Structure 1
């Protein structure tokens, strides 16, 4: 049986068309793909992407493990920085593409594709050593992507964190919608600009409600428009453009 994100009942209230996706019941569209696509390009939309896997790697050996696992060079990461990367199998094929977040010197968060989350976790655990803990925190967390040229103005009303101080592929942890310890990340999969926010699932309804009461311009957006937006930008989709039979070179 498919899992549900903490926003499931809220998607129903917005009359979303729901489908099975990556082991979850997810909104594929609300008003229509073209309408939603254009709304994100011109205004601001919210995607529930809580199906994405979130894996926490901590300990004195965390740096060495993440450097071994991923193809990009995490020496380039300072605290508060993120990096697009991928993990490879022994033949050089792409196990998954992912984001690496450096939370601290000995703490990293990997954000992986939902359909690959268990496979990725197994691979990571096979590589880990005694100086590292690997914890799947997906079921405890939520992830919303607020994307579009109006995202900054909408979100700034909800946080004391100065969003203009967060460069691309960087993040800050602070207060958002009266909730604490929210990761506010200047990242996204649409090419429209905006932020992704990570938070404990206990805050799900509070953050969703405050987002949609903050501005009439904001709309919920389904995964179909997410796909057309990323395709328009030429961003890869795992399982379609990349897989274990392809290498990053």
Structure 2
């Protein structure tokens, strides 16, 4: 059979279109999860020098030190069957901001079904790479209808900005979200502060119970910015340590 030039052009055009659609589909983001996603979560946990908490006793020590903060019900979200209602401070910030937007958009509360889980309380089907024991992950109940679409679109948008990894889990139906603390805090800082504010350096002496995130938060900064200014290799600080804190004029 002989094909005309026009037929060949049509076939070629269709092939190119199909190829483009396939590439777009393959490159599109999804909430399916992958080994690559787990690896990114693990790298973030290690990069933040986070500890994988072994059990409740170690978890309580982290709460006492201010490394984990309490998370409780608000008008925008509620906790459902959460055994350990604590999380990294930046994760709490993420929940509060997301829940406020979700309630405005959907008219209902966001439901949190899991927060920090020490290794002794991980479910049997949990991945050995799970970052729940570090306090940087949460689970959100899957809503229905337009609220589900809103939540998925928002999680995918934040994932595209490199501040979290989100996965749709099916047993039971929920979204696992690993929040990347410093990237997320810097993301919020960009959204809520002006880039042209003048800063002056001030000396600050670390007190008992201080955390880098707490100091940064009190001064309207991100922990990442405070680390960079002081050339710190991790978020660990100690009483008596002198820090330089940029303060807005």
From the two aligned structures, give the one with the greater strand fraction: 1
TM-score scaled by structure 1? 0.25
Normalised to the residue count of structure 2, the TM-score between the two structures is 0.25
Greater relative CO (CA pairs within 8 A, separation 6+): 1
- Greater helix proportion: 2
